[in-house]
Structure formats: C-alpha cells, structure tokens
Amino acid sequence: MSPASEATAGEALAAAREAGIHRIAVPTPFAVGRVNAYLIEDDPLTLVDSGPNSGRSLDELEQGLRALGREIEELGLIVISHQHMDHLGLVSILASRSGAEVAAIDVAVPFIENYAEAAAADDDFASQIMVRHGIPADVMHALRSVSQAFRAWGAAATVTRPLADGERLELRDRSLEVHFRPGHSPTDTVFFDADRRQLLAADHLLKDISSNPLISRPAGGEDRAQSLAVYLESLRRTREMEVDLVLPGHGEPITDHRALIDSRLELHRRRADKLRRLIAERPRTAHELAQALWGDIAVTQAFLTLSEVLGHTDLLLNDGLVRELEHDGVVHFEAVA
C-alpha cells in the first residue's frame, strides 16, 4: 500500500471513529485473512459481525473491545451482515454472554438458525453443480472434505430481530437503513447511515479483492441463482447511493465507491468477453474454461474459479451469445452463431 493510500485509510478510519464506529480486525483461518467487526458506540452498544467460531478469534475480539473500554457483556445488539462463517461464527457465544439482540435480514434467518443443516445442504448443492460443470469426481470429493473440515468455524445463532429490506435500524444517535444486496452470498445486507453518508458494506464491496459471487443454493426454490448477474445489479444499486465512506468486511475503508464499482463492472465485462472468445473456439465445460483462464487450478480453488466462470456464462446465456449443450449430465457451453 502506498503512503498516500495509507494516509487515506487512516483518515477514513478516523472519520469512522469520530462517528463512534471502531474497526476490530479478527483473525480467521481463511485465505482472505482478518475479518472486520465494527463496534458502534451508541445505545444499544452494537457490534456488526463477529469473526469465526474459534478461541483465538474470541480472544482477539475481546481484547479489541477492551482496548476500546468495553466488555462483551455490554453488547446490546449484534448485527449479522451475511451468512458466511467468518462473519457469524461467534455470534451465538457473544449473544449468550451479553444477552444482546441478534439482527439479520429476514431471508438469512433460516440459514443462520439452522447453520449445520444449511451448510450441509450447500455442500450437496455445490457437489451437483461441480459434477454438472465438469469438475472431476475426485476433486469434488476432496472439496467436500475440506468444506466439512471448515464447517465448525461457523455456528448457528438465534435471530431475535429479523430485518426487512428498506427498514431502519434505529439507535440513539443514528439511523441505519437496511439494504438487501445479494450476490456475494444470497443474504448480503448493507447498513447505511444516510446522515453521515457512511456505509457498512461487509463483503458486498471490498477494496483490494473482487468479491467472489459464489454459486450458492438459493434461499428458496430449486434453480441455481445467477450469482454474478444478481451481484452486478446489487453493485449498480450501491453505485447510486450518496456515500463518502464504505466500511468493508475485510481490509481498508473505501472512499471512492463509484470508481471502485466502475472498475469491478469493467473487470467483469472484460472477463465475459474473454470467455465468449474461448467458447467460440470450441464448446467447453465451465471447468475447462476455468483451466483455460487460470491454468492448473489448486483443488481448493476449483469451486471458486467455477463460480467465477459460471457467473460469466450466465451473462452470456442471458445475452443469447452462448447456449448449454447437456450430454450425460455434463454441460458444455457452445457459441450461438
């Protein structure tokens, strides 16, 4: 990071602190590194996201709160931004120690309250998608084991305060608008302080990494949601908002959300175009397309790269530029002449 952007990040965090919002970066075992929880000094004392379910994460979160003169027992409200385990794993422990209310968007409640079953159903769903799109069975089984090994980093929690899209979460000193912004996951929610033009965005918008619109089991219904198409629509809606400061779920604050969103939209346009050209050469499965783009893919990355490719083939299908050819349960994408 350059000194200039460090200064900007420092200033941005100072602006957040001035508004009573303090970042606590909690360790995770995942490639993404630390996850940002945010303490909001208000009434009720509010924590947005928690970190994963581990002793070390709990310890560091607790130390972070103490450094701010606070104890877990003082929390009055815990807000969950989305269903991923690095954001919700500690919620149940924090809520039982503090008696805090737990708030999350209504569509996330079944997942959060039945975490183990929901995560297992996600794995079943992912396995079907992987086989259908050309990932070899041994890779699929290896990924299932990895996923099961990581499952305990999440945990179920009881949501006492389900939120509706568009409602306001009223604290003593601020009003947070609740906006549903699915795409990175099926339950992403951002919280907007319109008076201060500050947006708690979790993983909907990250500064240094393009939020992976993971293929995931839809909240209702059978069909796979078009994660990237949904995500791009969510980004366009956020682009319209009057925001000075975005506080993301990982990494540093964002002060130029429109430029960042424009660069993400452009990245996805270029990638869809590249995939269209690869498909025009000859029909390929999504897994073959991922290999053509990124070479030999580490087993643990196979589902991420598959998600990325399927996001773009969805866009090409929607535009009528490619079609699916299904043979023996495996899909090849073919150019439409």
Q: Which residues bind Zn ion (CB under 5 A)?
A: 84, 203
Nearest residue to Zn ion, by Cβ distance, number only: 84
Phi first, then psi: give them for residue 7, nearest 5 degrees.
Answer: -60, -40
Preceding peptide of 182 cis, ω within 30°: no
Tell the smallest beta-carbon distance from residue 204 to Zn ion (Å).
Answer: 9
Q: Please say which residue, 46 or 212, places its beta carbon nearer to Zn ion.
A: 212
Tell the smallest beta-carbon distance from residue 84 to Zn ion (Å).
Answer: 3
Query: What span, in angstroms and rounded, lies between the C-alpha atoms of 96 and 153?
Result: 17
Instruction: Give the Cβ contact number of residue 332 at 10 Å.
Output: 20
Q: Please say which residue, 48 or 275, places its beta carbon nearer to Zn ion.
A: 48
Q: Please say which residue, 119 or 316, places its beta carbon nearer to Zn ion.
A: 119
Tell the smallest beta-carbon distance from residue 82 to Zn ion (Å).
Answer: 6
Tell the smallest beta-carbon distance from residue 104 to Zn ion (Å).
Answer: 14
In the chain the first and final C-alpha atoms are separated, in Å, by 46
Cα distances (Å, whole numbers) of residue 154 to 28, 31, 40, 51, 179: 11, 16, 23, 9, 24
Strand 46-48 relative to strand 21-26, pairing: unpaired
Beta bridge partners of 47: 39, 78
Q: Please say which residue, 22 or 84, places its beta carbon nearer to Zn ion.
A: 84
Tell the smallest beta-carbon distance from residue 269 to Zn ion (Å).
Answer: 23
Tell the smallest beta-carbon distance from residue 209 to Zn ion (Å).
Answer: 11
Q: Please say which residue, 84 or 181, places its beta carbon nearer to Zn ion.
A: 84
Q: Please say which residue, 46 or 211, places its beta carbon nearer to Zn ion.
A: 211
Tell the smallest beta-carbon distance from residue 174 to Zn ion (Å).
Answer: 24
Q: What is the DSSP string of 288-310?
A: HHHHHHHSSPPGGGHHHHHHHHH
Half-sphere CA count of 167, side-chain side, radius 13 A = 12
Query: What span, in angstroms and rounded, lies between the C-alpha atoms of 27 and 45?
Result: 22
Q: Please say which residue, 134 or 154, places its beta carbon nearer to Zn ion.
A: 154
